[in-house]
Amino acid sequence: MIRLPNPKSGNIGSVNSDGKRPEVVLLNEKQWSYVQSRYDLTPRERQIAELICQGLRNGSIAKALRIRPGTVKTHTRNIYRKVHVKSKIGMLLRFVTDARDIFTQYEGIHSAPAMD
């Protein structure tokens, strides 16, 4: 589900022995699909939203997707408009909250005792 690094472990913002940041998974595939359909995100908008939520900056996203930074900015603005937020952190929090809510609803449905 939603896993954040343990601040006591000291790995937030730290670099692994291979020189890369540890990957933090905030949303799984099912949750991303839910967010994409809920906010009517295009496949490219979802892709950019996922990279933003992984902590990448616009320049890194542009390089990874082989598009211009201005294009990333345009997609980001469109995502903000659809999600009704004004910042990357606002977007991240909205997605995590929505994913948590849908997970809670799913658990409530499937954890109800069986009626005989």
Q: How confident is the model at residue 3 (pLDDT cuts 50, 70, 90)?
A: very low
Q: Is residue 113 part of a domain?
A: no
Averaged pLDDT, 70-91: 97
Answer yes or no: is pLDDT of 2 > 60.
no
Domain count, the chain: 1
Checking if the pLDDT of 27 tops 70, the result is yes
* pLDDT in the model for residue 23: 65
Domain holding 79: CATH number?
1.10.10.10
50, 32 Cβ separation under 8 angstroms: yes
**Opening angle at CA 37, ends 31 and 41, nearest 5:** 105
Assess if residue 91 is contained within a domain. yes
Domain hosting residue 92, numbered range: 26-107
Q: Is 14 helix (H, G, I), strand (E, B) or coil?
A: coil
Output 18 or 88, whichever has higher pLDDT. Answer: 88
Q: What percent of the chain has pLDDT over 90?
A: 59
Length of the chain: 116
Q: Tell me if 47 is assigned to some domain.
A: yes
What pLDDT shows up at residue 8?
43
75, pLDDT greater than 80:
yes
pTM score, whole prediction: 0.71
In a domain, 114, yes or no: no
